[in-house]
Every structure is written in structure tokens, then in C-alpha cells.
């Protein structure tokens, strides 16, 4: 009865292609009755770190079966995968992972560096056991972060390898990946990624509530979120359905305005007001010289605030749109 008052989800039935919520299992206290109620909103549970190595196999299998019986898939974390690669036993680990019941193998390069050929071999080993895989991009250590260019390059490799989605590392949500030293979203970083790939390419790790709210506000109900504590699941699902949370009231300040001179800010205002728009139209509307408009466009692209695409009417012509208009 009461559910008739709530807006439905585009991807309400599992397995969902978009709008996924990935919960982290750190052996925290779990109320089984409450989890059963929340299970329809949870797509994947990731068993944290090397916990699978520390638990008795019977306990691990029982935990995995509990989630799967409720329609929730189970993933390893990237830490255990990296450990197995570095020890030279990854293929043997895949045999055991499949036997124990894991559905997804998460793989990353936090502490190791892999060539594309090595990544392909790892991917093939996962597929050989009929398991799914997802590559994670990024470093946990705030002192050793990837540049935007390196991040885009590694995302490109993951996409070429056929990764279902690409997970973006966030660790604790501060000074890592798309988050700054205060945990605020670095929208220029996000924009640079979504300028290259649609937002539904990514699973955004978002450990903090205001990060979850900001990403839902930006990309809508179908954004994929990971590193979620079980206590936050109902809040996330509420926001996906259009109900604001306490954290969501403070997200408007998080998007940065364009940096640079007046021309770039003026051109950005015009693109936001009228899009898609090409450079000739920008020159007509701003009365700025071609070189000035071109420079402003390049500056806005480098900040990740606009996206350049080929015109549907003329493939030789480039048109521009603000990043936030390209929701999933």
C-alpha cells in the first residue's frame, strides 16, 4: 500500500545495469532481519581487504550464501587480488574463489604496476572460471595520487579489457581520487573523466554521506556508488527516489565555478545557457574573437567543465555542452 506513494526506479529489478549500490563488509555488526529488508536496494557486497584469508572457509562460504540467497552478489576487494598477483598464485586463487562462491573479482594497482598484457592475462584467468571482474583505478595513499591524465589512461585500459564497470578508488574519502583534502568532490576531475566516458562507466566509491548526496544530485538515481556502509543504504535509496537527506542539503556549494579570466567564465555561462552550441555560435553570441573563444573552450575542457562532441547535423562540426547536463 505505502509503496504506491514512492517513485519507482528506472532499474528497479536486479540484476541492475545502473544505479548499483555496493556495500562494504568489514565484519561489522549485521542485523540479519534489517539486512533482509534492505537487500532489494543492495546489488553487491564486497568482502573487505584480506578478510577472506583470515576467516575459516566454512564461515566465509556461509556469509557468501547468506548474501546470495537474498539476491546480493559478492565481490572480493582489490587488495586480496593484488596480493595473489604479487605472490604468483592468482590463477590458483581463481579456482578457490569460484569454489567458495564469489561472483566478482575486483582487481587494482594500488601497490603494484601491471602492463596491459599482464592485465589481459589476469582478466582471462577470471573469465576462465566463469567469474565477473571489475578493475579499480587509483591509489589509496594520498601522497601518491594519479594525475587526471594517468587516471583516464588506466580507465581506458580497463574498458578495453571489458571491465563491466570501472571502480574509482576513494579509500576513506579524503585526499584520494576525485576527493580533495576536505572530502569535497573535485568536479574538474570528475568532469575530465565523464568528458571521456559516460558516467555509467564508473562505480564511484563514496564513503562519506555528503559525497553520496553530491553524486546522486549530479548524475541522478542511476549513478553507481560503492564503499557504502550498510547504515547508509536506506538514505541512498531514498535520494535515488527523490527524497532529500540531511546530507543532501549542503551539496550545492561543492561544484566549483570555472577558473581563469573573464572570457572563459563568459563562454561557460553561454554554454550553460544554450547547449549544445558550436564555436561559430559562441562567437556570434559573445562577440569575442575566434582565438579568444577557442582559448576559452580549451581552458574549460581542461577543467573538465564542458564536453566536446561531434554535431549530429554535421560530423565535421564540434558542439559543446556543460558536464552536468550529461546525466546518465
CB neighbours of residue 324 within 10 Å? 17
The pTM of this model reads 0.78
Q: What is the pLDDT of residue 29?
A: 64
Full DSSP string of 62-112: HHHHHHHHTT-EEEE-HHHHHHHHHTT-HHHHHHHHHHHT--EEEE--SS-
Handedness of CA 213, 234, 103, 75 (dihedral sign): positive
Q: What is the pLDDT of residue 327?
A: 45
Q: What does each C-alpha distance from 109 to 112, 116, 218, 233, 289 come to in angstroms?
A: 5, 12, 28, 28, 45
pLDDT digits (tens, 9 = 90+) for 242-290: 887 665 555 544 455 677 788 888 989 888 888 889 999 999 988 899 9
Q: Where in the chain is the domain with CATH 3.20.20.70?
A: 2-254
d(CA 215, CA 173): 13
Q: What is the pLDDT of residue 65?
A: 96
- φ/ψ of 134, rounded to 5, equals -140, 130
Q: What is the pLDDT of residue 326?
A: 44
DSSP state for residue 117 in the 8-state scheme: H
Regions of the chain short of the pLDDT cut 70: 1-3, 29-30, 245-257, 324-328
Q: Where in the chain is the domain with CATH 1.10.10.10?
A: 262-325
Specify whether the CB–CB gap between 76 and 97 falls below 8 A: yes
The CATH code that applies to domain 262-325 is 1.10.10.10
- Fold (topology level) of 2-254: TIM Barrel (3.20.20)
Amino acid at each position: 500500500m505505502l509503496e504506491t506513494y514512492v517513485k519507482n526506479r528506472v532499474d528497479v529489478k536486479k540484476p541492475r545495469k545502473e544505479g548499483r549500490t555496493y556495500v562494504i563488509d568489514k565484519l561489522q555488526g549485521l542485523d540479519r532481519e534489517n539486512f533482509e529488508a534492505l537487500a532489494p536496494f543492495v546489488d553487491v557486497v564486497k568482502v573487505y581487504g584480506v578478510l577472506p584469508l583470515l576467516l575459516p572457509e566454512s564461515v566465509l562460504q556461509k556469509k557468501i550464501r547468506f548474501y546470495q540467497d537474498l539476491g546480493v552478489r559478492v565481490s572480493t576487494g582489490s587488495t586480496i587480488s593484488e596480493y595473489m598477483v604479487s605472490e604468483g598464485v592468482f590463477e590458483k586463487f581463481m579456482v578457490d574463489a569460484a569454489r567458495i562462491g564469489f561472483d566478482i573479482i575486483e582487481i587494482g594497482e594500488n601497490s603494484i604496476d601491471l602492463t596491459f598484457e599482464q592485465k589481459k592475462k589476469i582478466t582471462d584467468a577470471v573469465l576462465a572460471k566463469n567469474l565477473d571482474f571489475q578493475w579499480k583505478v587509483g591509489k589509496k595513499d594520498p601522497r601518491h595520487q594519479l594525475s587526471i591524465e594517468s587516471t583516464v589512461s588506466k580507465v581506458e585500459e580497463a574498458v578495453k579489457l571489458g571491465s563491466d564497470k570501472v571502480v574509482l578508488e576513494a579509500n576513506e574519502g579524503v585526499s584520494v581520487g576525485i576527493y580533495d583534502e576536505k572530502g569535497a568532490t573535485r568536479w574538474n576531475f570528475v568532469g575530465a573523466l565523464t568528458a571521456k566516458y559516460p558516467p555509467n562507466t564508473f562505480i564511484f566509491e563514496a564513503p562519506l554521506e555528503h559525497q553520496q548526496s553530491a553524486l546522486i544530485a549530479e548524475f541522478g538515481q542511476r549513478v553507481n556508488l560503492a564503499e557504502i556502509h550498510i547504515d547508509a543504504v536506506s538514505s541512498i535509496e531514498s535520494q535515488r527516489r527523490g527524497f532529500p537527506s540531511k546530507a543532501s542539503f549542503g551539496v550545492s556549494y561543492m561544484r566549483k565555478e570555472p577558473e581563469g579570466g573573464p572570457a572563459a567564465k563568459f563562454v561557460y555561462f553561454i554554454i550553460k545557457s544554450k547547449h549544445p552550441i558550436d564555436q561559430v555560435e559562441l562567437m556570434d553570441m559573445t562577440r569575442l574573437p575566434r582565438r579568444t573563444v577557442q582559448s576559452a573552450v580549451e581552458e574549460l575542457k581542461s577543467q573538465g567543465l564542458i564536453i566536446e562532441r561531434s554535431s549530429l547535423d554535421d560530423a565535421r562540426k564540434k558542439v559543446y555542452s556543460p558536464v552536468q547536463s550529461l546525466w546518465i
